[in-house]
Structure formats: C-alpha cells, structure tokens
Structure 1
Amino acid sequence: MNKKKTNTYLMCLLILTLSISTSSIQAQEHPKLILTKAGVEKIRAELGKVPLFDASLEQLKKEVDAEIALGIDTPVPKDYSGGYTHARHKKNWIVLQKAGVLFQILEDEEYAIYVRDMLLQYAELYPTLPAHPKTRSYARGKLFWQCLNDSNWLVYVSQAYDCVYDFLTKKERKNLEENLFRPFADWISVKNPQFYNRVHNHSTWGNAAVGMIGLVMGDDELVDRALYGLKNAPVNTGEKDNDGGFIYSEDGKAGFLANLDEPFSPDGYYTEGPYYQRYAMYPFLIFAEGLENVKPELKILEYKDGVLLKAVNALLNLSDADGEFFPLNDGQKGMSIYTSSLVSAVDIAYHHGGNNPQLLSIAKEQGKVLLDDSGLAVAIGLRDGEATPFEKKSINLSDGPKGEQGGVGILRYGNEDLTLVFKYAAQGLSHGHYDKLSYSFFEKGDEVLQDYGLSRFVNIEQKGGGNYLKENKSWAKQTIAHNTLVQNETSHFKGKYEIGSKHHSELYFFDESQSEVQVVSAKESNAYPGTEMHRTIALIKGYGFEKPFLLDILKVNSDSTNQYDLPFYFMGQVIQTNFEYKTPKELYPLGKKHGYQHLWMEGLGKASEDNSKFSWMNERRFYTLTTITTTADEMRFVRIGANDPEFNLRRDAGLILRRKDTQHTTFVSVLESHGSYSPVSEFAVNSKSNIASVNMVHDGTKYTALAIEDLRGEKHLFILSNKDASNSSKHKLNINGNDYSWSGPYYFK
C-alpha cells in the first residue's frame, strides 16, 4: 500500500472510530447524565417508602407547580445581578432542572411539556441576542451580564434537556441543539477564551456547562473541550478585576482536569477559600457524576487520588459549629453547609465515595436530598438508621497542587466549644487576601475575633448591582482588615496580586496530638522583604482555667527599623481596660491608604503596665485579651467605616497595638473566654480575667519562653523552639537557674 493510500486508510479509520464513539454515546438511553434509566426505575419503586426522599419530592413539586401556574417568561436580558431579567432567567434554570426531574420520576407529561415549551422559547430568543448590554464583566454573557451565569444556566438546563430528550421529536432536538445549545456552548468557550481557558471557579462552571451539554448531545468534541480546554488559546497570567482576573495555570493548561490539578491540594483544600470552594463544588461534582455515568472508563472520581471526594470532607471541616463556612479570602458570612451545592456534594460523595455513614448525619441536618440516584442512596441510608455523627476535629489542610504552598490550620477543643482558624496559605487566586499568618477565633459558632470576609452584597441590585464593591479592594483585601501584622502601614506584598501570587507562608509545625495543648506554627518571609514573621498559636486547657485559653506568639525579625501594627477585631461591647485612653472630639481616619483610610480613630491610649488588659462581652460571654507591652506601646481603638459615604462597610470595632521605631520584637497575647451574663437574672458570673500575669522569661534566637500565672498562683510555662521543629530533636534551656529539657518543637507544663 502506497503512502497516499495509507494516509487515506488511516483517515477513514479515524473517522469511523470517532463515528462509532459518538454513536455509542448517542445510543445510550436517556436520562443518562445525573438521573439514570436504572436509577429512575429504582426511585419509582421506592416512592412512599423513603421519608426524606418523599418529603424532598413533595417540596420540589410544590415549587415547580407554582412556577408552571405563573406561566413562562423568558425576557430580553438587561439587568445586573438582582435585577428582574437576571433573577427570572436564574429562576428559569432552576425550575427547568426540577421540572425535568419530576417528569422522569412522576411520568407526568405536564412537566415535560413545560420544559419543552420554555426551551423552544429560548431557542427562538437566543439567536437574536447580542452580548449582554451591561459591560462591567471581563466576559459578557448573553442571558446574563457575565459568562459565569450563562454557564450556571447551561449546567442546570443540560440536566433538564437530558430528562426530556426522548420526549422531544427529532425536529425539536435539532432546533434546540443548532439554535440554542451548540451556540451557547461556543459563546462561553470559543468566543470567550479569557473566561473559559484558565484556572478559576468561573472556568470550572464553563467547563462543566460545555461538557454536560456535550454528554447529553453525544458530542465528543464538546466533552474534550470541557476536559482539556481550548487548544491554542492565548494565555494571560495577569489579573483584570475582582470577578475573576485572567488566571491561568503556569504551564498554560486549562479545562476541567486542569481545574482539578491546580487549585486543589492533595487534602482537598481549594486555594480560593471555602466560600468559593462551596460554589465550585456543584459543577465539579455534578459534571463528575455525569462523566461517571456516561463515561465510566475515565474514572473521574479517582482522579488525583480521589481529590473531589476529599474536597467534600475538607469543606465540611472548614465550617464552624453552626455549619457556616469560615470567611477566608473573599467569603460572605452566613454561607453554610445548608446551601444547595453542599446538599449535592454530600449526596454525591456518599453515593460514590463508599457510603461514609458520617455524611448521613450531615444530610439529616440539611433536611433534604437530591432527587436522583445519589439522593435516594442517602435517604435510604438515613431511613435504615445507618447515620453516625460527623466529627470535626483539629485538622491541618495543605494548600497548592502538591500541598507545598502553605495551608490552613484549624484547632478545635471539645464539641467545637472553641475553634481557632489559622491561615498561612497561598494567595488564593484573584479572590485571595493579603493576610499572611492571620487568624480568627470562634466559640460555639460565634465570632470572637473575626475575619472581615468580603465587601459585597451578593445579588442585592441596589448595592453595586449585587457585585463586588470597590471597598473589597480598598478594605477587605488589605492586611489591616485582618488579625495579623502590618508593617509601616503597608499591606503584605504592597497589596499587589502579581507579587503575592508568587509566595506563600511555610508551615513550621502542626501538633494536635495532645488534647490539652494543640499548636500550629508558621513562618512568612516574603510579605515584607527583609522581615521574617514567625507566628505560633496554641489552644491550651490549663488547670485553674474555666475554659482553654489561646496563646499567641508573633516573633518579628527585620533588617530595618519599622512601625508595627497588630490588630484584634473583636465582636461585642467593651467592658474594661487597665490602660487609660482618650476619645477624640472629632473622628478622623487612621491613615490614607492600604485600608487605613477606612478606619476611624475612636480612642488612643498608652500601655502603662507590662501587661495590657482589654475585656469585652459578646453573646453574653466575657473575653479578656492580655498582651505583653511596654510603656512605649500605643493602644488604638478603631472602627471600620471611614471614607465610606455609601455605607458599604460594616461598622465593626477593633483594637490595634502599635509598636514604633522597632527592629526585632515579639508580640505575645493570651485570649481567655470566661463567665457569662444573664439579662433575666441580671447576674454576671466569672466576668473577670483569671490571669495574674504573662511574662516573657526568655526570648532569644533559638527559644522563646512564656510564663503564665493565674490569680491563684498556679503557673504554666510554654517554651518554643524557634529554629528546629523536628519531633525527634532534644532541647535544653536554663531559665532563671532552672533547667528544662524536652523533645520536639515546644515544651509546656
């Protein structure tokens, strides 16, 4: 066979192979994506026998019936988030998906007709639409102001299309695919590579949308485009705006698999933080489930050592005692495990991850399940009494694709009575904050020392169209907005993404092996060139104390003399201080930039003792911060809200310890939770600090030692090895004539 004939033969073989592959997908019965033919039959057989599934079905039916009664509306798009057209198209995608499910389960054609008629209206509308008239986004959609929301729509609507696929005529399917679905997929991918071809939660939604409609249509090209990204698309590694800068992986990879490789650590931590991990888990897991059902040979849930299933566990551990996610990076407070994306995550992880009975207890709290194969499995497990409590313990979650870019350490005591969240992670892509070695502290789900979170009123149109506000950059991302060190009133990495994205903090050690003493420690040497910060935080149950106390040691070494600010953003009402302060007659901003312009100066005092004490009350509990100080230290009460004429920021309070003209220094604080107050009995119980003194008895290059004495004269000694964190290393230190010997990075007695 000559070369020309050989090439012709190979080309024909390739075409035949692709044809067989495509036709084999097309030949599969519908539904096949999330609901499956076998799964639907099992669901129908179990109806009336599985209480949580039946209740979820009844609730969903009420919602969809009410929408059908209102009629179909597919308005010409014109609004930002929160506006009518935005909200209506968003509601449509939800109702379409649910109506498709009801058609399959109840076999009632009214739901299929509703889905068909609305999809045909969209097929008539879509070809007439230009890019959305609102121009704020870096990637405008057609139905919505950004491609992200268009992708949301297609992820859900692809499921509806799968459910009614066989109900539709060939002519109707041809119309929908040629005039709606294929052009829709092309718009959010080929026409907007800056949105689609990168590593970011936005792109994950885009990848899932294109891939899921490709699976339903039997289009291998779309599925490959989803998995591997666009070929030969331009690569841009800069950041454009808060709604997702052009963030690509360093090697130019894109697509669904790249979004599994890059943002997730081996522990399942998602570098953007739990708020966006929660948001991205739906497209990650729903597309993965679709791939598992249609293309099981890919074994997508085993990819990267099962990282998607690990991510569900990590995300649940990134919530407080009330199930609300810690607001690391850009995160809206109040978002919790009860959101629909976590319902799907828990159900899918249970069904495809070995039926972990602890997940059933989470599903029971959520009170609803998906109306598909995975939801049925969860509901049956609950019905059969297989649930066991989900135990959230102290955990260290690494960051970075290989787990080598810092992380988040969480220390918990008891049944989440007290929880410390210590952030020493990477930048977190465009949603990251400049807050190396910051921490927040919780008691029973209530914030004691807070992380501000984001500055945005999500989907509230009156506030910037429901989008990120300018104060997110000028305040929420800045270092002074967090409980960590600020040098010379300048944010870490000068508040510049291109610098911050190159660096991460380094874990020194994490030890939760002792129930009475848990410690996390990390170092940061790039936030301020020439300055190293080493922060160690311990949660200690000391004898003589009502509750565990928090010990915070922040050691700073610099090659220059600087001004250091260490803020504590407390929640609640000031009760008492042991230092005098004056309140100004007129409020004025603390500074001019890097977030300082948003802080009102409410009080200025000087430390007068070796220990400065500050007590406050929150949620009827008392707290006292005891800090080692010198008479040169300033104590500044501040309140957020300066230079904020539209009241976009919360008016929260803080206390800043300022240390001027200093090169090397160590900040040491102890935070106690103690006592309670009853407004009914009007009794204050144990309202005062139990600490008599906190003294630094040694502070050198190798070791730092703290002595803590309570009011009854009981003493505790904590010694930190500053240079050697090995568990096997042996240490010896003489303090005031007494020798102390131990192994490992710290000593406590």
Structure 2
Amino acid sequence: MTYTRKNNWLGTFVLGLVLLVCQNGIAQGHPRLVLTQKGVKEIRSKLGTVPLFDASVAEVKKEVDAEILHGIEVPIPKDFSGGYTHERHKKNWLIIQKAGVLYQILGDKKYAVYVKDMLMAYTKLYPTLPLHPQERSYARGKLFWQALNDSNWLVYVSQAYDCVYDFIGAKDRAIIEKELFKPYADFISIGSPQFFNRVHNHSTWGNVAVGMIALVMDDNELLDRALHGLKEDTLPVGMKDNDGGLIKKPGQKTGFLANVDEPFSPDGYYNEGPYYQRYAMYPFMVFAEALQNTKPELKIFEYKNGILNKSIYALLNLTNSAGEFFPLNDGQKGMSYYSRELVSAVDIAYLYDGRDPSLLSIAEKQGRVQLDNSGMAVALGIKNKLTKPFIKKSIDLSDGSDGQEGGVAIIRNKIKDNELTLVMKYAAQGSSHGHFDKLSFSYYQNSDEILQDYGLARFVNIEQKGGGNYLKENATWAKQTIAHNTIIQNETSHFKGDFEIGNLYASKKYLYDVYNPKVQIISAIEDNAYPGTHMQRSMVLWDLEGYEKPLLLDIFQVDSKTANQYDLPFNYLGQMMTANFKYESPKTLEPLGTAFGYQHLWKEGFGVAAEANTKFSWLYDGSFYTMTSATSAGDELILARLGANDPNFNLRRDASVIIRKKNIKKTTFVNVIESHGSYSPVTENAVNAFSAIANVEKAYEDEKYVAVAIKNTNGSVGLFILATEDNSTTAQHTLTVKDQTYSWVGAHYSTLIK
C-alpha cells in the first residue's frame, strides 16, 4: 500500500513541498543540515558547562586530530569491504564529517582546511574513476564495490561540506560541485536506477545522499529526485539484488517518502528486521532533521503519524537486557543500541519528539552524543537530572505498512535481576533480508540466548571471509527453516525456500494477551508455508507457583490434508547435561539431509521416545535448562550439530535437538522450557540442577480446545486451556478435562491444582 492511499493529507504535503522547492528554493545560510547557525551559537555558549557534550567533543577532537597528523589519503579503489582501500575511504567519510562539525563548534580553521583539502583531493580523483573493479554487486559503485557505500560516503560528506561551505569560497565550490558532487549524485541515482529507485534500506541511503547534497547546493531538481524517486522507470525487468530479492515491484512508488511509508508498520517495525532498521535509521533521521531545519513547514516528523520517531521506540524494544538487537532475519549478533546510528537516532528523537526523559537513560548508557543541537539537548537533559528509566515491557509489533502482515511479539517477565524474554516472529517475509521462519521463536535469560535464532552467515567487514560480504551459507543455512525453532515439513523449508513465493504471505495473529503478567500468551497461525497445511503455535510465559522461574509453554498444532514428516528443532546454546532417552552416537558422522540446510547438520545422535515424556537438559553460562516434551511412541529424537559440508568453516558449531514425527496428518507438539538453578566454576557448586517438572501432558484436544497439564515434583498441577477457534475476550467457555469441569471468560484459562 502506497502513501497516496494511506494519508489523506499527503497530497497537500507533496504539493506544498513541490511548490516550496520550485518557487522558494532552499535559500538559507550555512550550516543548515544537522547544524544550524542559530544552533552553533547556542552550542558555543554552553561549551565547558555540559559534561556529556564536552566529553563527546573531546573524544571526537582526539580522533580527528590524529587523522590530520596522519594526512589525507584517497587511494584508488580496489577492495571489498574490510580491504584497505574500502576501509580508508570509509574512515575518510567519518572523519571529514566530524572535522566539519568541530570547525563549526570550536571555530578552529585547521578543521575547515582539512575538510577543504580532502574535498579537493576527491574532486581530483572522482572524474578519473570507472566502475569499481569488484563485480559482485548488482549496483557497483565507484569509490566502493557497491553503490550503497558510495551513498554512505555522500550522506556524511555532504554534512562536512555544509559546515565549511562559506569557508571554501565560491570559486572552489563551483569546481567541487561540478566535478564531484553533481556527477556523484547523478551516478547513484539516474546512473544506478536499480539501486536508487526501489524500496529497501539500500535505496534509503541513496535517496538521502542525493537529498542531503541537494539541500547544501540549493538543487531543487536533486531534492525532488530524492523525495520522489526517478521520474522514469528504467529498471531491468526481473533484476534481483545481491540477496535474491526483486529490485522493484510493478507500480511501486519510490524515493525517500516511499521508503518511509512502505517498510514501516504503524507500530514502527521495519520489515527487514532490527539489524537493518538500525542501519537505516541514520539516513532516515539525519535527513528528517535536515528537512526540519531547512523546511520546518513540511513537518516531516509528523509524517505517517510520526512514524520515524515511533520507530526508535520499536528498535529500543527489539533488544535484550544488554541492548543487543534480536537477530531476526539477516542480523549480526552483538549489534546494539550503542552503535553510532542509534546514538544519532536517540538524540534526534529526543529533540523532535517531546523530549521524552526515558530516552535520556539510553543516552546515558551510550555515553556520548551527536555533536549538534539534538546532542546538546540530550546532554543538557542529563545534566539537569531529567532522566527517567526506559522500561522495556511486553510488546506486540505489527508488520506491514498497514499493520496487517503479521508481526513480532516480545514477551518479558522480569523479577528483580532476572529477565526471561520470548521473541516470537510471525511476520512477513522481510524483503530480501528475510528468512523462511514462520512461527519461529528465540528465548533469552537476561542477555543470554537460550534457544537461538542463528542470525546471518557473514563476517561483516572482515576481508578474510568472503571480502566481508554475505557467505553462500547465508542462503544454504541461515535463511533456511531448520536454522530456526519452528516446524519443517518433509525436510523442505517454508515456501520451498523461494523468496518470491514467501514474499506474498504473512502469518496471522490469533491471540496476544499480556494483561496478566503471570500468564502472557502469543498465538499465531500460518496457512501458506506448506500448501494444505494449517499450523498454529501458541506460546505462554507462565509464572507458575512451585518453580524457581517462569516456564515457557510451547503448543504447536499441525493439521495437513496429507501425511507428512514434521521436524521441530530447538537450537540451543551450551553443553548437553542429560537426556532420558537412549540414543546412538555413530562412529562416522553423516549429514542429516541433502538440502534446505539439512546438508549442514551432522547427525551426532539418534534415539526413539520410549516414554510419554522426553527430557533434555543443558547448561549455559551458569544456568541449567530443561526441555520436557509430551512425546508419542515412535517419535524420533535427533541430536545434531552444525559443520557438515562447510569446508571453509564459515558456520558456528552450534547444536540442536530435533523432535521428529513421521507419516502423520494431524499432530501437536507440546514442550515446556524450564530455567532453573546455577553453577559457579569458582565455588564449583551446582544448585537446583534438576528439573522440577514430573510430567507434561496434553490433557485434552479437539477442534475447539487444547489443554496442557504440567505436574510438579511436589504434586501440584498447572493446567492451561486455550480456545483455538474463538479468540474473543468476552466469550464464555465450559470444558471438562479429566472429569473436572472448568468455566471461564476469554480465549484462555489457567489454574494451579494442589
């Protein structure tokens, strides 16, 4: 759905923008983007009195001064990311932007001279450059192997140019703009339509790069191009990017406004996932800040009901207790809100969204601010002790521009210093960075990932590993369904691993209820991953009396028109402790399968369920975990580990336990994950190392209800009942389970029977 259909006021917005750009231009003094003349005066008046801002200035000054001593270096491009020329040009864009800001704040001309000399060096180099010699990208750059990085460069360098615009002088400015900036902006836009004219984080960077330099140069044509995309659709039919996604849908709007409108849900979730949302928030927010400073009447921060600022809150909630983003879709583990993009985004959101004091607590943890008015506002707020804690609660974030394409549910239970977090993904495909992981989940205790989402298969900016780019194992393993904790039918990934098919569908939320903090539930339905197969997963974070910590109850119902094999993997981190089933460990390892990620798993152990309950426990980072499963006779239990068909050792050697049910049309997997006890390598004491669960049973199931009973070793029984066809909060239900009748209102019921 495009923005022309979503916002009634958008036509007025766009018309007003065009009239303003065409009639009034962008005439205004410099600097005018993230810094303004008025803002510089205010910052200078407060220097030396605002500790966090002063410390940030000192840190940046030390870094830039060292680079000035090093001298200017603009090598002939030749490397992939991680290589010397790539990293040198990347450092140049970061340093030159900081040098420009220091010139404005400190008034020291040495920084302006450095920026000018650097720009003149690039002005001399750029006209001589052909396309980058590395040919892997669908849209090659000139300074870098992909136009994406060329755009990164221009977003930052345009800010530096803005800061020294008046210092450089008209004659040299004319040369720089004619030989460098204008052809540069043309190259990444009309010269690379497959990159620029789409909806994707790549094109967001391209749109903003052209828009930022347009604002500096008073170039109305470039600004219109940035906001609305190219006028003519010149994209090759069926062309795909490096990740296998189609470049552009037929009739799709493009440009910056389309990139704000389409990827974000009304809740601020970005369809590519938090890792790329973090990456894209820098261009989104700095361009919005620049538009606010140059065209405040456009009210860009109010666009789509204030979605840009709202997205920052979504991102902050998409983190574990250490501030690390959940690695949904293509996401590198360890990336967090301490990144430079989030420092900038939090500062800008604070200034332009009512100065929410809870954002100050994030900024305090980040320990630095952006050197502009937003950073000064944050630093002043902290100095004046306005900070309030940012409290992450359970939240359900919708996906899709209209919020109707599934979502991501985050359920948290925090008691004192212990926090358990369930992340269940029932979203849309996620553009070309999406994975085939419908109804998947990951599970955290504090910052430890107990049951993991693998994330991406890439060593970002490490030249030794594929030039720092995506590895082939990203497609053969990380994107495949077996790499996620969800159902695989007949050893074939969801949608047969076909992006174009997967991109057509999203799962549907059935129930999300966190009103009672002791019983929080997310339930979602998937009907398209396997044609003719209905899947419903219901997960409950249940703070049940008699257990050291809340339990995670997982009920996964599958109903198909044909008999199939179903695998449910649990990709755990840590060391296996015990299993209550007999298993064989082969002397010679063989891959578990031949395709869809199975070819990368060694089959390390194999057993068959002999009891109504199967138990598997492991130790990770000082805590014990036990999975108790309600299994049926003949269910197969597979112990697997990554590493097969991986000659370059690109994959981590992580482990999985897989429950397999064969030749069955309709079945239900019931599993309970229990966090308990501790182990200290210092005292060498194991405390509460054994499960408190005596039995897990599917106590009842028909077309309308499912009930699970969890018996404690102390004799008490926790009973959970879910109405699977009526999610009304006001519906009245009565059900008899094991000769006991229960009546309740709402979609679910739970009780403790002593």
Give the TM-score normalised by structure 2. 0.96
Instruction: Report what 2:682 is aligned to.
Output: 680
Alignment of 1:46 onto 2:49: no
More displaced 10-residue stretch of structure 1: 414-423 or 354-363? 414-423
- Kindly state the Cα deviation for residue 40 of structure 1 after the two structures are TM-superposed: 0.3
Distance 1:38 1:740, change over 3 A: same
Q: Secondary structure at the match of 1:27?
A: coil
Residue in 1 aligned with 2:96? 96
Counterpart Cα distance in 1 of 2:289 and 2:250: 28
Q: Distance in 2 between matches of 1:671 and 1:733?
A: 26
* Pairs within 5 Å for 1:55-74: 55-74=55-74
Please report how far the alpha carbon of residue 336 of structure 1 lies from its aligned counterpart in structure 2 after TM superposition.
0.3
Q: What is the distance in 1 between the residues matched to 2:18 and 2:429?
A: 42
Offset at 1:631?
1.9
Question: 2-side partners of 1:472 and 1:238: how far apart?
Answer: 22
Q: Which residue of 1 aligns with 2:5?
A: none
Are 2:193 and 2:235, in contact at CA under 8 Å, matched by a contact in 1? no
Q: Quote the Cα distance in structure 1 between the aligned partners of 2:27 and 2:750.
A: 67
Whole-angstrom distance in 2 between the partners of 1:33 and 1:698 = 63
Match of 1:457 in 2: 459
**Alignment-derived partner of residue 10 in structure 1:** none
Q: Could you tell me whether the CA contact under 8 Å between 1:332 and 1:454 is conserved in 2? A: yes
Q: Partner residue of 1:556? A: 558
For the 8 Å contact 1:195–1:246, the answer to whether it is kept is: no
Q: Secondary structure at the match of 1:489?
A: coil
What are the equivalent positions in structure 2 for 1:262-411 lying under 5 Å apart? 262-411=262-411
CA distance in 2, matches of 1:382, 1:183: 43
Shift of 1:194: 0.3
Kindly indicate whether the alpha-carbon contact (under 8 Å) linking 2:705 and 2:722 is maintained by their aligned counterparts in 1.
Answer: yes
Equivalence for 1:606: 608
The structural deviation recorded for 1:249 is 4.8
> Which residue is 1:184 aligned to?
184
Query: For residue 215 of structure 1, what is the aligned residue in structure 2?
Result: 215
Map of 1:467 onto structure 2: 469
Residue matched to 2:638: 636
The corresponding residue for 1:724 is 726
Matched residues in 2 for 1:237 and 1:294: separation? 37
Q: For 1:374 and 1:445, how far apart are their aligned partners in 2?
A: 30
The 5 Å alignment of 1:509-520 reads 509-520=511-522
Distance in 2 between residues matched to 1:21 and 1:583, nearest whole Å: 71
Give the SS at the match of 1:330.
coil
Unaligned runs of 5+ in 2: 1-16
2:77–2:143 CA contact under 8 A, matched in 1? yes
- C-alpha displacement of 1:234: 3.3
Aligned to 1:205: 205
How far residue 743 of structure 1 moved from its aligned partner, in angstroms, is: 1.2
Q: What SS does the corresponding residue of 2:703 show, helix, strand or coil? A: coil
Match of 1:529 among 528, 531, 545: 531
Distance 1:510 1:310 in 2: 21
User: Cα deviations across residues 578-627 of structure 1 (Å, max 9, x unaligned)?
Assistant: 10101000111000000000000000011110000001000010000000
Q: How does 1:522-601 map to 2 (within 5 A)?
A: 522-601=524-603
CA contact under 8 A between 1:511 and 1:519: conserved in structure 2? yes
Q: Go from structure 1 to structure 2 and tell me whether the alpha carbon gap of 1:731 and 1:591 turns closer, same or farther (over 3 Å shift).
A: same
Q: Secondary structure at the match of 2:616?
A: strand
Q: Output the amino acid matched with 1:688.
A: F
CA distance in 2 between counterparts of 1:453 and 1:466 reads: 16
3-state DSSP of counterpart to 1:356 = coil
Distance 2:53 2:173 in 1: 31
Report matched runs for 1:708-747 at 5 Å. 708-747=710-749
Partner of 1:157: 157
Asked if structure 2 preserves the Cα contact closer than 8 Å seen for 1:357 and 1:387, the reply is yes
How far off its partner does 1:296 sit?
1.2
For 1:464-503, what aligned pairs fall within 5 Å after superposition? 464-503=466-505
Distance 1:384 1:531 in 2: 58
Deviations 1:490-512 (CA, angstroms, capped at 9, x unpaired)? 00000001100000000001011
What does 1:23-172 align with in structure 2 at a 5 Å threshold? 24-25=24-25, 27-172=27-172
State the SS of the aligned residue for 2:572.
Answer: coil
Instruction: Find the counterpart in structure 1 of residue 420 from structure 2.
Output: 418
1:244 and 1:373, CA in 2 relative to 1: closer, same or farther beyond 3 A?
Answer: farther
Decide whether aligned partners of structure 1 residues 402 and 238 sit closer, same or farther in structure 2, where only a CA change above 3 A counts.
farther
Give the distance between the partners of 2:622 and 2:162, measured in 1 at CA: 53
CA displacement at 1:244 relative to structure 2? 6.8
What is the rounded CA distance, in whole Å, between the counterparts of 2:578 and 2:507 in structure 1? 35
Confirm or deny: 8 A CA contact 1:198 1:246 kept in the other structure: no
Which blocks of at least 5 consecutive residues in structure 1 are unaligned? Answer: 1-16
Q: Deviations over 1:537-556 (max 9, x none)?
A: 00000000100000000000
What displacement does 1:252 show?
1.8
Alpha-carbon offset, residue 250 of structure 1: 5.2
Preserved CA contact (<8 Å) 1:236 1:246: no
Separation in 1, partners of 2:616, 2:73: 58
Q: Which moves more between the two structures, 739-748 or 407-416?
A: 407-416
Equivalent residue number for residue 234 of structure 1: 234
User: Quick check: 2:618–2:624 contact (8 Å CA) kept in 1?
Assistant: yes
Partner of 2:505: helix, strand, or coil?
A: coil
CA contact (8 A) 1:25 1:294 kept: no
Distance 1:570 1:247 in 2: 36
Matched letter for residue 639 of structure 2: F
Identity percentage over the alignment?
A: 62
Deviation, structure 1 residue 65: 0.2
Q: 1:343: Cα distance to partner?
A: 0.1
Deviation at 1:330, TM superposition (A): 0.2
Corresponding letter in the other structure for 2:53: F
AA partner of residue 705 (structure 1): A
Any conservation in 2 of the 1:563–1:659 contact (CA below 8 Å)?
A: yes
Q: What is the total number of aligned residue pairs between the two structures?
A: 733
- In structure 2, give the amino acid aligned to 1:525: D
Amino acid at match of 1:528: Y
Does the CA contact (< 8 Å) of 2:137 and 2:242 recur in 1? no
Q: CA deviation at 1:248?
A: 2.6
Letter in 1 for 2:501: I
Once the two structures are overlaid, the 10-residue window that deviates more, 368-377 or 406-415, is: 406-415
AA matched with 1:391: I
Alpha-carbon separation, structure 2, partners of 1:88 and 1:695: 60
Give the residue type in structure 2 aligned to 1:68.
Answer: I
Structure-2 separation of matches of 1:372 and 1:641: 48
> Runs in 1 of length 4+ with deviation above 4 angstroms?
17-26, 235-239
Q: Secondary structure at the match of 1:417?
A: strand
Deviation of residue 408 (structure 1)?
0.1
User: Structure 2 vs 1, CA of residues 687 and 237 (structure 1 numbering), >3 Å: closer, same or farther?
Assistant: farther
Deviation digits for residues 682-704 of structure 1, max 9, x if unmatched? 11110000001011111111000
Whole-Å separation in 1 of the counterparts to 2:172 and 2:18: 25
Alignment partners' CA distance in 2, 1:631 and 1:255: 57
Separation of aligned partners in 2, 1:588 and 1:48? 66
Deviations 1:673-723 (CA, angstroms, capped at 9, x unpaired): 000011122111100000010111111110001111100001111001110
Query: Structure 1 CA distance, aligned partners of 2:618 and 2:238?
Result: 43
| Alpha-carbon separation, structure 2, partners of 1:40 and 1:683 | 59
Contact 1:236–1:248, Cα closer than 8 Å, also in 2: no
For residue 25 of structure 1, report the CA deviation from its aligned partner: 4.4
